[in-house]
Amino acid sequence: MHILETDALTRCFGKLKAVDAFTVSVEAGEVFGLLGPNGAGKTTVIKMLTTLLPPTSGTAGVGGFDVVRHARDVRRIIGYVPQMLSADGTLSGYENLLVFAKLYDLPRAERESRVRGALALMGLADAADRLVRTYSGGMIRRLEIAQSMLHEPKVLFLDEPTIGLDPLARQAVWERIEELRAGFGTTILLTTHYMEEADGLCNRVAIMHLGKVRAIGTPAELKASVGGDGTTLEDVFVHYVGAMLESGGTYRETSRTRRTARRLG
């Protein structure tokens, strides 16, 4: 059985089809990448899969639960790190996690040790009791990933997990994602527009453009489909999406992305 399955998932905003008949199946334990330029519909797909946005048509199931009819069950088994900064700067790292440990009904007796454990796993043990305001961008992202893993979700959604991070911080986040997959067998769906990130982390990727999936497969398959030796995922991307034209991203999205990048950077 596929742990994540969508069938012609579609979302319209007014006349605009933000996501058009998105159909994929993801195996348990897979790291699946959604690639695409700004405005391709990646975040909209994630919002539908995390039950934040009802689809206009089509269906999606996570862990065997329908995202519309069994939203509560879906929420119990997923973890989610939004693209924007989602840790609360006015609380300590420990408190940020404690709140979610309570909301996900972690047993009282295990709560403290699991929160401390998650912080240690993400290399934040020393900073646990500092206000998140004082963290660096990379630390905040790692904190957010720690929080999303607390309840050991079956599927983890990471929306642009490394946006605005410097190369070192990005490397650290990649290593943690790799560890989660290896250690817990977590299925991970991530969006990115960094090609080397997708190439290094993902078992399979889907390239989206203007709401539609243009290509889907393993990085190697996609490279082979486009050209011979020496083809990079970058070349594949350009082949399917065309040269990076200004294709989306409203003023508000741009200002949000920039602000997130600045706060994280």
Partner 1 sequence: MRPQELVARLGGWADPVLLRLPGKFAAAVAQFAYKTAVITEVEARKLRHDPTELITRALQPALWLLVFGQVFTRLRAIPTGDLRYIDFMAPGILAQSVLFIAIFYGISIIWERDLGIVHKFLASPTPRAALVLGKALSASVRGLSQAVIIYVLAFFLGVKVCWNPLALAGVFSTVILGAALFSTLSLIIACLVKTRERFMGIGQVMTMPLFFASNAIYPIAMMPKWLQVISRINPLTYEVDALRAMMLAGGTSSFGLWLDLGVLLAAAAVLVAVAARLYPNVVR
Shortest spacing between CB 72 and partner 1, in angstroms = 6
Q: What is the C-alpha to C-alpha distance for residues 167 and 193, in angstroms, rounded to an integer? A: 15
Shortest spacing between CB 150 and partner 1, in angstroms = 10
Closer of 30 and 160 to partner 1 (Cβ): 160
Q: What is the C-alpha to C-alpha distance for residues 59 and 253, in angstroms, rounded to an integer? A: 26
Would you tell me which residues interact with partner 1 (CB under 8 A)?
A: 47, 50-53, 72, 75-76, 78, 80-88, 90-92, 95, 99-100, 102-105, 131, 147, 256, 259-260
Distance set, CA 20 to CA 64, 171, 209 (Å): 22, 33, 10
Are residues 7 and 60 in contact, defined by beta-carbon separation less than 8 angstroms?
A: yes
Shortest spacing between CB 171 and partner 1, in angstroms = 23
Closer of 150 and 210 to partner 1 (Cβ): 150
Closer of 94 and 240 to partner 1 (Cβ): 94
What residues contact 254, with CB distance under 8 A and at least 6 apart?
A: 38
Q: What is the C-alpha to C-alpha distance for residues 32 and 83, in angstroms, rounded to an integer? A: 16
Shortest spacing between CB 179 and partner 1, in angstroms = 22
Helix (H, G, I), strand (E, B) or coil at 33: strand
**DSSP code of 9?**
E
Closer of 13 and 227 to partner 1 (Cβ): 13
Closer of 59 and 86 to partner 1 (Cβ): 86
Shortest spacing between CB 131 and partner 1, in angstroms = 7
Are residues 77 and 62 in contact, defined by beta-carbon separation less than 8 angstroms?
A: yes
Closer of 105 and 234 to partner 1 (Cβ): 105
**DSSP code of 133?**
G
Q: What is the C-alpha to C-alpha distance for residues 201 and 80, in angstroms, rounded to an integer? A: 18
Shortest spacing between CB 78 and partner 1, in angstroms = 7
Shortest spacing between CB 205 and partner 1, in angstroms = 23
Residue type, 234: E
CA atoms in the 13 A half-sphere facing the CB of 35? 31
Residue type, 149: M
Closer of 147 and 191 to partner 1 (Cβ): 147
Distance set, CA 220 to CA 23, 118, 167, 200, 227 (Å): 21, 33, 24, 11, 11
